[in-house]
Amino acid sequence: MFGDHAAYIVPSYLISLLVMLGLIGWIRITYSSHKKALKALEAKGIKRASSK
């Protein structure tokens, strides 16, 4: 499909995919860890002024 240049084209798409998946994964993991930490603190009765 890509002829002699497959060695350059395939890594271009693979690296792009990996970087994007890595970015999405990092953002999603950060979101769940922040949510978890907030819940843990709120469970201890420590709440923001606006959520009282």
Partner 1 sequence: MIENTKNNIGIWARLGAWLTHMANPTRFMRFADRTIPYLAGLSLSLFAIGLYLGFTAPQDYQQGATVQIMFVHVPSAWLAMMCFSVMAVSGIGTLVWRHPLADVSLRAAAPIGLAFTFLALVTGSLWGKPMWGAWWVWDARLTSVFILFLIYIGIIALSRAIEEPTTAARSLSVITLVGWIIIPIIKFSVKWWNTLHQPASVSKLGAPSMDAVFLYPLLTMALAFTVLFFCLHFMNMRNEILRRRLRVLKIKSGQLGKGSAV
Q: Does 43 bind partner 1 (CB under 8 A)?
A: no
Q: Does 21 bind partner 1 (CB under 8 A)?
A: no
Q: Work out whether the CA dihedral 44, 45, 46, 50 comes out positive or negative.
A: positive
Q: Does 52 bind partner 1 (CB under 8 A)?
A: no
- The correct pick among 3, 25, 43, 52 for binding partner 1 (CB under 8 A) is 3
Q: Work out whether the CA dihedral 30, 31, 37, 41 comes out positive or negative.
A: positive
Residue 14 C-beta-side C-alpha neighbours within 13 Å? 6
Q: Does 37 bind partner 1 (CB under 8 A)?
A: yes
Task: Find the radius of gyration of the CA atoms of the chain.
Answer: 21
Contacting positions for partner 1 (CB under 8 A) = 1-6, 8-9, 11-13, 15-16, 19-20, 22-24, 26-28, 30-31, 34-35, 37-38, 41-42, 44, 46-48, 50
